[in-house]
Each structure stands twice: as C-alpha cells, then as structure tokens.
Amino acid sequence: MPLPALPAGQHCALRTVRGRSGHVRREGLPHRDRRHKAIALAVQRAQETWQAILYATWYLCGAELPTRQTYVREQRMSLQAQKRSTPEEYLALERQAQCKSEYYAGEVFAMAGANRWHNLIVTNVLRELSLQLKERPCTTYPSDMRVKISPTGLYTYPDVTVVCGEAQFEDTQQDTLLNPTLIVEVLSESTEAYDRGGKFAHYRKLASLMEYVLIAQTKPHIEHYIRQPDNRWLLEEAESLHGTVHFPAIDCHLSLAEVYDKVDIVVE
C-alpha cells in the first residue's frame, strides 16, 4: 500500500545530515520515519499512563509504593518477559493490602467490590448456617477467609465457606484455609461465567469439598452441586421463595425466603 502524500503546503520534518566532506546540510525526514517516530511516542505515553494507573492502584490498596529503583527495574522489564510472582510474594503483599486479589500461576487478579444485594445475601446465608452449626464441630467463614486450592495453586476468596472437623491452614497465620467442606458463591454479572466454569473446575480438585452452591442475585434461584461417591457431581435446583435446600455434608437446611430476606428480587 503506497504511503499517503503530504498535504499541499505542508513541509516534512527536517533532520541534520553530515556528509563525508564534513559539510552539514538539512534534509527532510521521509514520511515513513516520521510516522514511526509518532507511533513510538504514542506507545511511550501509553506505557507511562499504564504505570500511573498501576501505582495509583497499589496506593489505594494500601500496599507499599515501589522505590525509584523498583520503577527503573520495571521499566526495563517492560522490554523483557514480565516476571511472575511467587505464592510467597503474593501472600506477603496480600497481607498488607486493603483490597483482595486472587492468585493463580504467578499472576495476581484484583477482585471487584460487591453491591448491596450481594452483601445482603451473603449476610443472610452466614447467619442461617452459623446458627444451625453453633453447637456442632463446623465453622462458617465470610469472604475474608482466603482458600487455597492446593492441587492447582489457586488462591481465592469464596463468599461463604464451611469447614467441618479440624480446619487445616497453609501456615501459622491461619488466614488461608486448605480443606473447605462447603463453598457458597453469590453470582454477579461480572463473575457468573467464572464461578460456573473455571472456578468450579478448581474447586472440584479439592478432596475435602463435598458441596458447591451458586446463588442468583436478581431472582430466587439456588444451584446446589453435591459430590457423589464416584466423584461425579449431582445438581439440584430451587427456584421458589417457598423452597428449601438441604446440605447433607453439614446437615443444614437453607430456606430461600431467609436467603433473600430484604433483597429486591423479581418473582415470576
């Protein structure tokens, strides 16, 4: 494809050229060279903008800001392959940060905040399960409890986690659970596909996990997956506010009317 000609009356950029005899002359830059310089300048500005966004995110999450040496090193790394974080580096940063992030295969993924209805549903589920498990050897944890899927290396934060028997943790900090019995995720538009697909694929690798629960926000609908003796997963669904879901692994019942208490939903 031929390069476009300069508009009439427009001069090309000039450059200084020194000949073999030592004489200096001014020449016009070819249009292709000028275009390449413009592209390089645009790329540089985009990198600087991205760096500013990254630093702002670190600051808002309460993490320690990088030093000038770190900045220079990362600028050099942008020209090379990006270094991946180790689980130890992730945990060290995560324990300082105010924002939660997932970790998988060396990459850290910031988690979005939850809306009012999401938080209400989580609160309702926590209340109902905690009351039923009060006098039993099971513990209910909110979304601040991090869970590690050891077979795959994923670190994540389920909305509700229940563990029966002795809880196992990754280290003495006791903030990373290894053996959940039941996990609940409240679906949102941005995470629904992940919760149903990739995330559930990770969860299924946990030998301790017996039940997985997905709860819709906008209508009364609970999907309940139960691990079978042959390691298959059986799906049960409840779609009425008059319905109840039974969790055999922890011997609890969850009424949909209680799950959606004070939540604005569409009842068909």
- Residue 211 corresponds to which tokens in the numbers above? 């039940």
Strands 176-177 and 146-149: parallel
State yes or no: pLDDT of 255 exceeds 70.
Answer: yes
User: Quick one: pLDDT at residue 55?
Assistant: 54
Q: Please determine, for residue 97, whether its predicted confidence score (pLDDT) is greater than 60.
A: yes
Residue 160 has what DSSP assignment? E
Residues 6+ apart with CB under 8 A from 226: 210, 211, 233, 234, 236, 248, 249
What is the residue-averaged pLDDT of the chain? 82
CATH 3.90.1570.10 fits 116-259, yes or no: yes
The Cα–Cα gap between 42 and 58 comes to 25
pLDDT of residue 38: 63
Least confident of 79-83, 168-172, 219-223, 257-261: 79-83
pLDDT grade for 112, boundaries at 50, 70 and 90: confident
Res. 13: pLDDT tops 90: no
Give the per-residue pLDDT at 32.
54
Query: Is the model more confident about 60 or about 116?
Result: 116
Over residues 122-140, the mean pLDDT reads 97
Q: What is the mean pLDDT of residues 61-90?
A: 59
Cα separation values, 43 from 29, 34, 39, 46, Å: 20, 14, 6, 5
**Average pLDDT estimate for 112-117:** 90
Count of C-beta atoms within a 10 Å radius of residue 144? 8
Among 39-43, 118-122, 126-130, 236-240, the minimum mean pLDDT is found in 39-43
Region 175-182: mean pLDDT is 98
Please state, in angstroms and rounded to a whole number, the distance separating the CA atoms of residues 47 and 28. Answer: 29
Could you give the CA distance from residue 12 to residue 79 in angstroms, rounded to a whole number? 31
Q: How far apart are CA 174 and CA 95, in angstroms?
A: 12
- Lowest-confidence segment of 18-22, 45-49, 178-182 by average pLDDT: 18-22
- Contact in structure between 238 and 221 (CB atoms under 8 Å): yes
In this structure, which amino acid lies at residue 75?
Answer: Q
Of the pLDDT bands very low, low, confident and very high (cuts 50, 70, 90), residue 265 is confident
Over residues 229-250, the mean pLDDT reads 97
Question: What is the average pLDDT across 156-179?
Answer: 97
Query: Could you tell me the pLDDT band of residue 127, with boundaries at 50, 70 and 90?
Result: very high
Report angle CA 82, 86, 89 to the nearest 5 degrees.
105
141: Cβ–Cβ under 8 A, 6 or more apart, which residues?
160, 161, 162, 163, 177
pLDDT above 60: residue 18 = no
Per-residue model confidence as pLDDT tens digits over 28-72: 544 555 666 666 666 667 666 656 665 555 555 555 545 444 444
- Look at residue 251 and tell me whether its pLDDT is greater than 90: yes
